[in-house]
Every structure is written in structure tokens, then in C-alpha cells.
Chains A and B, each alone.
Chain A
Amino acid sequence: MSKKTYTFLLLCAALSQITYRTYWVNFMDAVSRPVLHFSDYMIVTEEFRSLGLLLSLCIFFGALFFFRSPGLNQKISDNKFWHFGFLGILFFLSATVIYANPQGRFPWNKHANYIELEVRSRKPDLYKKLEHTPDLVLLGSSVSFLVPMNYFEEKWDIQAFNMSVNGGGPVDFVNLINIIKKTSPDSKMPAIIMVEILSPSLSFNNLEQTPIEYIPEMSSISQQISAIWKTISSTFRFNSLSDSLFTLFIVDKGRWDIVTTLTGNGTMIKNEEDVKDKQYRKSVEKDAVLMDELQSCESLDGTGKLALEKLVQLSHEYKFSLVVYRTPVNQDFYTFSNFKPSKYSGCAQKFDQYIEGIAAQNPNMFFKDLSQYSPIAAGGKEIYRDTHHLTTRGNILLLDALDNEIESAIQWARKNR
């Protein structure tokens, strides 16, 4: 084939890419919305990855066909040209990522982080700034971001702080307890720790966990090493580069206001405008695979179990009561997808058996499985943003459902501290 044919094929490839973009991203919809939600910036990231793929394919093609030498068997002097290309591009792109620090992995914040991952490093910072130790601290995943902490004062007359972080799981909770212990304003531990469990498998490997692990208060050396490695490897990823470009040229220039707002007690403020049915259904479908993974297991995760047991041990050591609960799964997850509830009953049963066993042996621990709690689970888009993230209203219903457990935990703490 001639170079002309190849050029034609390249143009076809580029054309197919453009067509693909046009179909895939409803561009007009994206620009008309003033606030870019999490799912939307993911599209920007994926777009960038696709363009990176296209660029790489063009270079691959070029190196094979357009740059080849007409003469064979020529001697080359050295390999510095390969190094120039390799190190040059790696240095330039990784330097951009390190400078922009879009995921808050490095200890400087010259530019506004725009993704929710920053919550992981911002929550402990907020906690350190508290004037007094709160009575209750909520540990959880992003499901609990919108839990209104003022409601605790209204209903139970206690001060509460929301320490839930992205992808928060049992291992993070142990780290967070250690942080709380070291940084509590009046050197005293909260009386009650509430623990939200999203995945009955206790495994959170499929969720982002990095930033919290590099906080120096972390307990194990191996976690620190793994966090350092994750930071290095994420520096060499196209996703980080696209995040950086987005941070530097869109967010930093004030063109998109998506920095998450946290109140002093850790509650996230989110624009909860009316969600259209189609949009809601899309969100549920988008998260269905993740939800399926989170709920499935052959056996419970060993590290997760160890972390939960460590949490119970810490509750005795620091004399706090524990309220553990499983969050309700949106029933629309089953309606809009092909996943059947029966698929998850085995894993859920294993978890309930395990946790109920622990609760029976520890009088300071109160457990409630709300995974099938229908007043919330069947609530649709008034209660859920997607398969598992609750709206503020959903969170209030959840707190009401936990009334007995919270009350008992308060009583235990009053009696034993």
C-alpha cells in the first residue's frame, strides 16, 4: 500500500473517532449545565484517554511507515534518540501531573483540586480544626457524604462529625481512628463511632483508596510503601494527565465550579436539583456493575475482617461505643439491570452472621442490616442519586431507622465513660 492509502486510512480513523465522540458525549447537554457532576468529568477523562490512544496509534503508525529509513543496514551511533523521545515525553507529562497535583497526592495545593478524592485529605484536616471533640464521628464511604450532621444535635442533642471518605472501607476506618486519636482537640476520643458498611464482602479493592494512605498517621509500613508506589504509578497515567489539564485550564480558570463544599462538621453540600427520570436511570445503570462487584463475594475479605476486628479492639481500648450498619441498596438497581437480588444473598448472609457474632460478644457494639430496608430502598429518585448514594432526604430516613442503635450507643457511652 502507498503512503497515500495509509494517509487516507488515518483520516478514516480520525473521522471515526470524531463521529464516536459526537455520538457518545451529548456535548450541548454538557455545556448547558452549570455544574459538572462526577460522572461528567469522568467523560472528559475518558475523552482524553481516547485522544491519547489516537495520538499513540498515529505515532505507532508513523514510526513504522513514515519515518523509516530508505537505506537498510545503516549503522546507528547510539540509542540517545530513543531515550530523548521516551524520557522527554515522560518527564514533560509527569511534571505536569506533579505540578497540578489534581488528586491531592502530593503535599501542596497550588491549584484547586476538583475531584471528590480530595475529600480524603480534607476531612482529617477539618477534624484537626475542630474546637472540641465531637460526641459522635461517622466513618463511611461516599454514601454518607450527605448525612446532615446537624440532625444529630436536633434529634439526640449530640455534636457529630462526618469523617466519611471516598471508597471508605474497614482498613481506612482503622487509619482514621488513629488519626482521630492523635488529633482530637482536647485529647479525648469521641464517645460514639458510627460505621457505615457499603460492601458486605469487606473488600474495597475496586475503589480509589490512595490519598488517605499516605497520611503520615498511617499504621503499617507496608501500607505506606504501597501508597508511595500508587502515587508514583498514578503520576505516569493518562488519567492523571487529563485531570491535571482539567485542573489547570478549566477549574483553575474558574470555568467550572465543581470544587466540593464541606461544612465545618464534614457534611458535604451538594446541589440537589430535580433530577429527570432519564438522568436518574442512566446514573443507576452506570453504577450497576460496580454495585454488583461490591455486593458479590465467595468469602469475606481477610484484610477487611482483620480491620473490623481491630476496630472493635480499639473501641475497648479507647472506650467508645460502635454503631455498625449496612446501607440500603436501591431497588431500582435490580429493576434497571439484569442483576437479581438472590445473587447476593450468600455474601450478605456470611457478613451478617460474622458481624452479628462479633456484636453478640461486645456489649458496646450495635449492628443493624438496612440493606433491604424498604422505606428507603424502594424510594426511587427522591432517596437515591444512583444505585447506592443517598440524597439528604434518604440520609435523614436512614438516621431515623438507626434511632434505637444510636440511642443505645449513647446510653452505653454515658454509663461506661
Chain B
Amino acid sequence: MNLISHEFLLLFVSLTLAAYYWLTKTPRQKMFFLLAISYLFYSLAGWQFIPILFGLSLATYALAKWNKFGWGVLLNLAALILFKYWNFGIENLNLIFSLLHVKLSILNLGLPLGLSFFIFKHIGYLYDIQQKRYSPAVDFWTFAAFSAYFPQISAGPLSSYKDTASQFNSLPNKLSSEQVTSGLISISLGLAKKILIADTLNTMLTSPVNTVNGFSGLIPAWYLVIAYAAQLYFDFSGYTDLMLGISQLLGIRLPQNFNNPYLANNPAEFWERWHMSLSNWFRIYLFAPLSRSFLRKWGSEKREQAQYTANLITMSLVGLWHGAGWNFILWGAYHGILLNLGAMWKRTNRQIHPLAEKSIFLFFILIGWALFMGQSAEYLTHLFTQLFGFGGLGARDLLLNLFKNNATLALIFAIPITFSGVAESANLEKQIHGNKFALIALGMLAALCILLIDDQIVNHFIYIQF
């Protein structure tokens, strides 16, 4: 189901909320209702993948109960590899085997919605139980509801079983006015970010302009990269705000995923502000065990090397997580190098002007997004040639075309909003509490956004594909 459609917003969410508060009374009933509605939501995205979600949830729950944590992790990883990375691996092997005239066949399995998100929740659960961080799930149904919880399943935010499932025991019959307002603010902000900015920028980024033959010159190249950086942020943080708001109206608080990432001063801070729940996951479940194992192997005198190597491996895998493509791996490794360079710079104790520091870092982030947006090697080569000025400034007609486009209008608004520090729902909520005009404006905004939705045009959230 398209999350930005009248069908989802006016029908699915409204009916779910109405039934949730009118038909169910006890927390247990509500939990079962959430489980049923989450599976209904999942089936609308592809009913054939229901057995995958159910089977993996059941296996994870059972293997954790029997203390077979390694098997649980292996099973989940096997499913992830099979559905998400198998074809990528085969395509690369075929390139090598083509010399031997051997061709392995591609599997057309399709990608289940939110596969990597629910699998990461499962792996986190198995690891936490093994480390005795909290007790295992009391019953399978609570675990299944945690695994399939619909505001989370498409693209996160990732949360631990302890944080989310513990709230299933105290699901409210009535929400306070503050909770409702907070949820509605999140929804309004999420819709505005997605519909007004991300989707408007998308019209330019998916147009023939953003192709190898579509643009040339320094200004158009930077325009496209900046537009892409803004689109990614507004699209994904818009999704998060929308889902946080819906979840809050169901009485469940999910973790924040963004904290003004483009205000970061250095690579480490960026990853504390961008896709926070995924960064945390990789920090806890991959980086920490990895660096500990390197330390054990190499000794404490090689602490820095252990950190750098763990950074590089973790970030390359973060890249791979985003998609089965070399550009994503390259982007991840690039961020690993940036993190290491950032750590080295910090150790020198040198200081530069904060604005210069921010600007230099922002430049590197944008170069990273240029890697991320690479559709092909040919496109990447073209984009980087233009970004570094090897194609002139840009033809007059193209510049005029860019200027005339609605995307420019969206970008003019997007840039100050990005750097304002109030663009996250948590911050905004604090800022506008008690101001009735701001609340009316946000209500009007939500209504206008709903009026702007065109059900004929499907603009999925970008991170849903990851």
C-alpha cells in the first residue's frame, strides 16, 4: 500500500484508530488487534511474503527460547542474503565465470517489504537475550506483534524488543490531549516534508535532466546533488515523523531517527544524527563486538587500528545494507574512511573555525550522496566530472529550466528548514507548545497536504526499498 495515499491516510489509519479505541479494551486485546492489523498491512504489500515474516518470527522466538542464538542469527542472515543479496552475488560471479562460459541463474524471488528491518530487529533480539540484557519474550504473539508492528515494518525506525514490546503491556484506552497533539504534530510535519518538499524535488530528480545526457556543468551537477541530499533527508525523516505520529496515536512511542543531521560538525556526529536507530544497531551489534575482537587479537597497543578497521568494515556493511550495489558499498566505505579521518583529526587537537569545519564536512557529505545517487558507472563518472568543473558552468537553457522548475521553489524552502534546527518533530513540538496559531497552521498544513496527494502518482518513500 502506498503510504502517501488517501487510501492509507484517510481509510487505513482512520479505521485502525477507530477500531483500536472502540473495539478493544484491554492491553492484550489491543496487542492482538495490532498484530492482526500489522499482518493485514503486510499482506497488502504482498501476501505471498506473509509466510516469510511469520516463519522468521516464529523461528527467532523459538531459537531464542532454546538458547540457539547462533542458529537464529544464521537463519535470519540466510533469508536476508537469499532475498536481498543473492542476485547481486550471482551477477558478480557471472562476470567472473563468463571467462569460463559458465552462467549461474538469477532468482526472481522479489523483495519482501521491510525485510532488512524486521531481520535486524530479530538479530538484535537474539543478541540481547544471549547477552542477558533483558528477559526473553513471554509469549510468541507479543514477539510477533513486535516483529510485524506496521508503523515500523516498512522502513523502521529500528527499536529493541525491550523498548517496544514493554509498551504492549500498558497500551492505553485513552490518550491525553498532549499525546494526541504530539502525534498530530508529527504527522503534519511528516506529510509536509514528504509531499511538499521531497516529492517536489523528486519530479526533478527522476526527470530526464538527471541522466548522463540530461545535464552538464558545475551548477546543474551541484544543484542535483544538493536536491538529492535534501530529498533523502526530507523523504526519510518525513516517513519517520509520519510513522512516529501514527504510532504515538496508538499509544506506542518509537525512537527518534533524525536529529538535524546536516548541522553535524564531523562524521561521527553525523552518524549520531542521521538514521540514528540503524547507526545504533550497527554500533551495538557489529562495531562493538568487532572492535572488541580486534583488540583481543591485536592487543591494546593497536587500539586505534582496531577502531579504524572496525569502522571501515561496519560502514561498508552499512553501505551494503542500503542496497545490493557497488555504489552503496563504495558510499559505505567512503563514510568509513571519513569516520577514520575525523577520528585522526580529533586526535591532533587542532581547531578551525566552526563554520569552516561545518562547511568542509558538508562538502564531504554531499560528495558521499553523489556516490549514493549513482545509477551506473557511466552516470557516476559523468556526475563527478561535472561536480569538479570539467564541463563548464552549465548551459543557459538548462539553468533556466532548473530555475523555472517547482523543485527550485521547494529547495529554497528546504535549505533554511534543514539548517533551522526545528525540522524534527521532537524539537518542533517543544517550540510550538502552547501556540494556538502554530497548531492551526499545522492542521491546515496537514489538510493541504492531503489535498495535494494525487493517488494516480505513486511516490514511495525511498528507504522502503532498502
B404 touches A62 (CB 8 A): no
CA distance in complex: A61, B420 (Å) = 11
A73 touching B430 by the CB < 8 A rule? yes
User: Which of B184, B200, B419, B437: most chain A Cβ within 10 A?
Assistant: B437
Given A68-B431, A76-B433, A241-B451, decide whether A85 and B409 contact each other with a Cβ distance below 8 A. no
A53/B409 contact (C-beta < 8 A), A68-B432, A82-B185, A233-B455 known: yes
Chain A residue, CB-CB nearest to B178? A76
A13 close to B (CB within 8 Å): yes
Q: Check A16–B422 contact: CB distance below 8 A.
A: no
Interface status of B439 (Cβ within 8 A of chain A): yes
A90 at the interface (CB under 8 A from B): yes
Minimum C-beta distance from A63 to chain B (A):
4
Kindly supply a per-residue 1/0 record for chain A positions 43-83, scoring 1 wherever the CB is within 8 Å of any chain B CB and 0 otherwise. 00000011011111101111111011101111111110111
Tell whether, in the assembled complex, residue A67 and residue B438 are in contact, meaning their CB atoms are under 8 Å apart.
Answer: yes
Q: How many angstroms between the C-alpha atoms of A50 and B441 in the bound complex? A: 19
Query: A69 near B435 (CB under 8 angstroms)?
Result: yes
Residue in contact with A81 in the complex, picked from B11, B200, B431, B439, CB distance below 8 Å: B439
Closest to B199 in A: A53
Point out the residues of chain B lying under 8 angstroms from A88, CB to CB.
Answer: 443-444, 447
Contact A54 B409 (CB under 8 A): yes
The residues in A between 341 and 379 inclusive whose CB is less than 8 angstroms from any CB of B are none
Q: Is the Cβ of B430 less than 8 Å from the Cβ of A72?
A: yes
Distance A14 CA – B448 CA, assembled complex (angstroms): 18
Contact pick for B7, options A56, A233, A239, CB 8 Å: A233
In this complex, the interface size class of chain B, counting residues with CB under 8 Å from chain A, is 35 or more
Chain B min CB distance to A416 (Å): 43
Residue total for A at the interface (Cβ-Cβ under 8 A): 60
B439 adjacent to A85 (CB under 8 Å): yes
Query: Is A53 in contact with B445, judged by CB distance below 8 angstroms?
Result: no
* Residues 389-438 of B contacting A (Cβ, < 8 Å): 400, 403-406, 408-410, 412-413, 416-417, 419-420, 422-423, 428, 430-438
> Could you say which of A68, A85, A90, A229 contacts B422, with CB atoms under 8 Å apart?
A68
Q: Determine if B452 is an interface residue (Cβ-Cβ < 8 Å).
A: yes
Q: Which residues of B contact A76 (CB under 8 A)?
A: 177-178, 181, 433-434, 439
Q: Is the CB of A79 within 8 A of B439?
A: yes
CB <8 Å contact, B413 and A60? yes
Min CB–CB distance A231 → chain B (angstroms) = 11
B107 beta carbon closer than 8 Å to chain A: no
Residue B212 is within 8 A (CB to CB) of chain A in the complex: no
Contacts of A236 in B (CB 8 A): 6, 10, 450-451, 453
Neighbour of B196 across the interface among A53, A85, A229, A237, CB < 8 A: A53
B440 interface hit (Cβ, 8 Å): yes
- With A20-B405, A79-B181 as known contacts, state yes or no: A84 contacts B454, CB within 8 Å: no
Q: Chain B contacts of A81 at CB under 8 A? A: 436, 439-440, 443
Decide: A67 near B437, CB < 8 A? Known: A83-B443, A84-B443. Answer: yes
Question: Residue A19 contacts which of B177, B181, B404, B445 (CB distance < 8 angstroms)?
Answer: B404
Could you say which residues of chain A place their CB within 8 Å of the CB of B413?
A: 9, 13, 57, 60-61
CB distance from A93 to the nearest CB of B (A): 6
Contact of A85 among B181, B430, B435, B442 (CB under 8 A): B442
Contact A24:B445 (CB < 8 A) given known A64-B428, A232-B6: no
- Chain B residue nearest in CB terms to A94: B451
B286 lies within 8 A of chain A by Cβ: no
B446 interfacial contact with A, CB 8 Å: yes
Judging by beta carbons under 8 Å apart, are A49 and B448 in contact?
no
CB <8 Å contact, A237 and B451: yes
Any B CB within 8 A of the CB of A108: no
Across the interface, do A55 and B439 meet the contact criterion of CB distance under 8 Å? no
B192, CB-defined interface residue at 8 Å:
yes
A93–B430 contact, CB under 8 A? no
Q: Which residues in window 69-113 of A have CB below 8 A to B?
A: 69, 71-79, 81-90, 93
In the complex, chain B residues 356-415 whose Cβ is within 8 Å of any chain A Cβ: 400, 403-406, 408-410, 412-413
Residue of A nearest to B438 (CB): A67
Inter-subunit contact B448/A89 (CB<8 Å)? yes
B449 touches A (CB below 8 Å): yes
> Known: A56-B192, A64-B423, A76-B178. Contact between A233 and B6, CB under 8 A?
yes
B443 proximity list for chain A (CB < 8 A): 81-89
Which chain A positions have C-beta within 8 A of B422? 64-65, 68
Please report which residues of chain B, range 1-45, place their CB below 8 angstroms from some CB of chain A when the two chains form the complex.
5-7, 10-11
Neighbouring B residues of A57 by C-beta, 8 Å:
196-197, 409-410, 413
Contacts of B455 in A (CB 8 A): 233-234, 237
Within 8 Å by CB of A17, from B197, B409, B434, B435, lies B409
- A19: min CB distance to chain B, Å: 7
Are A63 and B412 in contact, CB atoms less than 8 angstroms apart?
no
User: Which 10 pairs of residues, A with B, have the shortest CB-CB distance?
Assistant: A85-B443, A74-B434, A81-B439, A86-B443, A67-B438, A233-B6, A69-B435, A63-B441, A85-B440, A89-B447
22 CB < 8 A contacts A-B: A1-B416, A5-B416, A9-B412, A16-B408, A16-B412, A56-B195, A56-B445, A56-B452, A60-B417, A63-B188, A67-B435, A69-B431, A69-B438, A76-B433, A79-B184, A81-B436, A82-B443, A85-B443, A88-B447, A89-B451, A229-B7, A233-B455
